[in-house]
Amino acid sequence: MTQEQKEKEAYRQAFASVRIPHPIDPGEIIRDRKTTKMKWYHKYAAALSAAMILLGSAGVAYAADLGGLRTTVTVWLNGKAREMEAEATPDGYRFSDPADGDTAVVSGGVAIGEDGSMRRATLDEAAEALSMEVWTDEAGRTWLGDREKKWDITDLFDDQGLAHGSYEGRYYDIERHPDDDGFSISASDTPAQGTAYRALGIPN
């Protein structure tokens, strides 16, 4: 064995322990092709969920850009609109209510485009993501909330933890992540090709 071969062997042994934590299922990649219109990648979606808890409820913000660093937005909380100020932070957006000081921080927002490239989410996208939430209640029912509407989606999930629902021209793709007990959500005005969506029905 030459010196170089010895070095290569030693190197390979040293890095044998570097292994992918969660081997990727090809089916996951194939599904992603159908649902990555503007998907919030699950690791960062988890951060977003944490921020949503601070808000106290799912809310949506419609940006009205004032031209400065700070922007006034309308946020939905418990079915009611409320004015909040939004400003960009180094790693996301901060929403605050000047009236009572409530603050919600959205950090780590990243959008993944059709070609797989990543970029920082815009304020509108952060607001849209804030509008959506999936949670499981004490009775074990899983709910999708969007702005002031919510639907019981417990029975929509397939064996792979995927659920696809539509309501008035809006198409939702939800994926359950058993690893971190969370969900990723994406929504679009156009259905993903080859995906069957079930009508969500009248919201609760």
Chain residues binding another protein by CB under 8 A are 3, 6-8, 10-24, 26, 28-30, 32-33, 36, 41, 43-44, 46-47, 90-92, 107-110, 112, 114-118, 120, 179-180
Nearest distance, CB of residue 53 and another protein, angstroms: 14
8 vs 70 by CB, closer to another protein? 8
111 vs 132 by CB, closer to another protein? 111
Dihedral angle sign, alpha carbons of residues 31, 35, 19, 4? positive
Nearest distance, CB of residue 43 and another protein, angstroms: 6
DSSP class of 24:
P
User: How far is the C-alpha of 143 from the C-alpha of 174, rounded, in Å?
Assistant: 11
38 vs 46 by CB, closer to another protein? 46
18 vs 202 by CB, closer to another protein? 18
Nearest distance, CB of residue 36 and another protein, angstroms: 7
> Which helix (DSSP H) or strand (DSSP E) does residue 76 occupy?
strand 70-77
**CA 110 → CA 43, 116, 126, 163, 203, distances in Å?**
10, 12, 9, 22, 29
Nearest distance, CB of residue 89 and another protein, angstroms: 9
Whether the Cβ atoms of residue 146 and residue 165 lie closer than 8 Å to each other: no
